[in-house]
Amino acid sequence: MTDVDFNDVQGLLRFGYGKMTQASYALLRVRDAAAARAWLRAAPVTSALTMNPPPPTALQVAFTAPGLSELGVPSSVIAGFSPEFVTGMTEESRTRRLGDVGSNAPAQWSWGYDSDLPHLVVMFFAQPPGLTTFIQSATGPDWSRAFEEMRWLKTADLDGVEPFGFTDGISQPRIDWERQRDPTRPQIDYSNVVALGEFLLGYPNEYNKYTDRPLLDPDAASANLLPAEDAPAKKDLARNGSYLVMREMEQDVREFWKFVSQETGNRDAAAKLAATMVGRTRAGDPLVPIQKEAIPGISPDEAGQNRFTYGGDPSGSACPFGAHIRRANPRNPDFPGRPASLIKRVITMLGFGPKGFRDDLMSPVRFHRILRRGREYGPGLLPEDALSPALPNEPARGLHFICLNANISRQFEFLQNAWIVNPKFSGMTGERDPLLGTRAELPGCPVTADFNQPRDGRLRKRVDGLPQFVTVRGGAYFFLPSLRALRYFAAKRSN
């Protein structure tokens, strides 16, 4: 049993709303703060309570830092949120770390930069065909007085397949809602169970500590907020909330399949090369074998595609180091070489553990997990059809990437920087993520567009000159509040 009040948590933290295959996200700016607060007070925001039968629709709300300010939240309160959230995704130094350079640069984004930064996003989900009706009823007559609609991000239901044609969303961390795992114990094997506080603010994280967040003095305004677990005299505005990272990533599906076809010359080999770039086949099967031993947090019904680590593939010959899913989740534990005893761990800690070239290159993954909630957009295109020329005025397609995490810099940003776009990931040089990476140069690193496939006892295969397949078109950091915090933001104020 968990002591988290699901009634206070927005549902997206617990559910992907997979049955609600229709979704649309409204990027909004506040037109009239009082009207906006009134709309938010009445908004039918969906909680994380399990309902029977499941609801046919869901609505979620998240705010940017300027959005909170616009609603009248005092700047002293906003300053208590994390620096990444407060300064935003497009801060110049940050863009270097995130790979938002060259064609990904925020100045060219269609939303999220400068005056194009939304104040909030309202996310509508519905079982088909209910979305249009749901949006009409949920927005209501006060909507247009309250908000200026910057943009509607429409999504498409590609039936669990992302636009390049690969089954997506297979691997997700399992949140330790019950707080049964002791994160201070060294983890010598990979586990998929991650501390509650890595995703929900106000609870202990993988260091068994509370992530920084605004703690308020009790007063009339904060009376209904929950107290902070680690400071019971304070009100915890962020408790049961999370940070929501949103990025619009346009995928050049035709370019992707054209490239792998030209590199290989036939359909089967093209599919194989594409699979090595992803790290899974199109059906979602990993390139390394499924292991017999159970992995904590991976249930038997998902074992067929998820019960694996790269421990048995140290050379990267089954799944290349640079494959997308190996970068995004290297599935590595705290130590190299599984030091089971305390003495062995001390020996490893002192630097006398495994000394191979590729040993111990990465930070333990449990500090860098994210909960993915993205959805596709644009018309589906089968890989078989992707080789034909684009139709005139073909709409763009891609992913509205969404992830939830409690510490943006240690989770999303670390993952994006140190693993996805880093040309030096895992002892390599000259390649970034084959799917997502920018191909921009770095000083002294003129090549970033290779993709290596190591082979045991043979010369690696290398593909070079990878085009950039994904271009960032927009993005922002949001705060996804608890329902109590939402009522605090939306409370009647004089201004």
Applying CB under 8 A, the residues found at the interface with other proteins are: 83, 86-87, 91-94, 96-97, 184, 205, 207, 209-212, 315, 334, 348-351, 353, 355, 357, 360-361, 363-364, 367, 409-410, 413-414, 417-418, 422-424, 427, 429, 442-446, 454, 456-462, 464
Q: Given the complex with other proteins, which of 226 and 418 has the nearer CB atom?
A: 418
Residue with Cβ nearer other proteins (61 or 200): 200
Q: Which residue lies nearer to other proteins by CB, 176 or 334?
A: 334
Chain-centre distance for alpha carbon 418: 15
Distance between CA 147 and CA 256 in Å, rounded? 39
Nearer to other proteins, 53 or 444 (CB): 444
Residue closer to other proteins, measured from CB, 173 or 423: 423
Q: How far is the CB of 118 from other proteins (least distance, A)?
A: 22
**Cβ 46 to other proteins, closest distance in Å?**
31
Name which of 98 and 275 has its Cβ closer to other proteins.
Answer: 98
**Minimum distance from residue 259 beta carbon to other proteins (Å):** 18
Q: In terms of CB distance, is 101 or 491 closer to other proteins?
A: 101
Asked if residues 358 and 351 have their Cβ atoms less than 8 Å apart, the reply is no
- Shortest CB 383 distance to other proteins, Å: 26
The CB-of-316 to other proteins minimum distance in angstroms stands at: 8
C-beta of 392 vs 457, nearer to other proteins? 457
Q: Report, in Å, the least distance between residue 82 CB and other proteins.
A: 9
Both structure tokens of 225: 């907020």
Shortest distance (Å) from residue 461 CB to other proteins: 7
Least distance from C-beta 433 to other proteins, angstroms? Answer: 16
Chain centre to alpha carbon of residue 110: 20
